Amino acid sequence: MIQKIKGKKSSVSPLVIANWKMNLLYQSTEELIIELREKLKNFHHKCHIVVCPSSVYLDRARQLLIASKIELGAQDAFWELTGNYTSQISVNMLKEFFCRYVIIGHSERRLYTGENDEIVDRKTVTAVRNGLIPIVCVGETQEQRREGVQAMVIADQVKKALRYVNPLFPHERIIIAYEPVWSIYPGQPCHPAQAREVALIVRQALIDSYPESVVDNNIKIVYGGSVNETNVNDYADGSFFQGVLVGNASLQADKLIKIIKNISHKKIERR
C-alpha cells in the first residue's frame, strides 16, 4: 500500500523536460522551437519548461529561446572542465550556450556507452559544483524488476550518484528522474502505482543522505518513461513526482504543449 509522503506541505512549480535525443535535424529543431515559443508566448501558468536538443544545435536553440518562457538543457556533459578528451563537452561549454540543465546517466547512455554509477557520480558532482542543474536518471531493467530487486537497485543508484554532492545551499538544485528502463521500449508506461512506490524509494534514499528540509527544498523527483499528453496527470501529481521527463511525445509541438497545459493547470503540492 502506498503511503503519502510525509513532510511540510509546500507548493512547487511543475517541471516538463523535453529530451529530443538523437532526433531532429537543424531545420526541424529550429521549426519545433519556434512553434513552441510562439504558442507558449501567452502561456501564464507557472510551469518550468526545459528543452534538450542535440548538442550541435544548442547555440541555435539559445538564439531562438532568448526572452522566451522555455529554458535550455543538454543531454550530457563530461566530468572534467578541460583537457584531452576528444568529442567530450564540458559543463563550462554548455554554460556558454546558457544551458541551465543537463541530463546525466540516461538509461540509453548506460546501455550504449557503458556509463556506470561512478561516471554518473563524477558528472553529477561537476554539474552541481559549476552551476548546472543535473537531471540524474535512475531506473531498473525488466530483469531486475522480475527478480524483485528494483528497490535496492534504485536506492543504490541514487546514493551513488549523489555520493559527493552536498546540496546545502539555495542555488544548488538537483533533479532525480525515475525512468523504468523496461517501460521505454516498446513504449509501455509504468503503472502509476508502481511509479509512486519508486518515488517513495527515491525519497527515502535521499533522506538517508540529506536533511529532509534539503530534500524538500533542493531536490525534485520527476517521472520519465513513455510519458504522453494523455497519461501525464497520472504521474506528476506533486505528492510523488513534481514533473516529467518526456521523450518521443516531445518531438511534436502540439503533444508537448498538451503535456505542459495538462500538468500546469493543476495546483501542484508537495508533502
Read off the CATH number of the domain in which 60 is found: 3.20.20.70
Task: Average the pLDDT over 233-251 and give the result.
Answer: 91
Q: Residue 263 has which C-alpha cell? A: 500538468
Q: Classify residue 57: in a domain, yes or no.
A: yes
Of the residues 71, 108, 115, 179, which is catalytic? 179
Q: Is residue 125 part of a domain?
A: yes
pLDDT for 8 equals: 45
Residues in Cβ contact with 113 at an 8 Å cutoff, skipping those fewer than 6 apart: none
Q: Is it the case that residue 243 has pLDDT exceeding 80?
A: yes
Active site residue 106: yes
Question: Which residue of the set 48, 71, 106, 115 is catalytic?
Answer: 106
Identify the pLDDT of residue 9.
Answer: 47
Q: Is 48 one of the catalytic residues? A: no
Q: Cβ(244)–Cβ(224) under 8 Å?
A: yes
Q: 243: domain range? A: 11-266
Total domains, the chain: 1
List of residues 6+ apart from 163 with CB closer than 8 A: 121
Can you give the pLDDT at residue 165?
A: 86
Given a cut of 90, whether residue 224 has pLDDT beyond it is yes
Does residue 3 belong to any structural domain of this protein?
Answer: no
pTM score, two decimals? Answer: 0.92
Structure-model confidence comparison of residues 5 and 204, the more confident one: 204
Would the pLDDT of 3 be above 90? no
- Is 55 within the bounds of a domain? yes
Asked if residue 205 has pLDDT above 90, the reply is: yes
pLDDT tens per residue across span 18-29: 999 999 999 999
Across residues 94-113, what is the average pLDDT? Answer: 96
Q: How confident is the model over 102-127, as a mean pLDDT?
A: 95
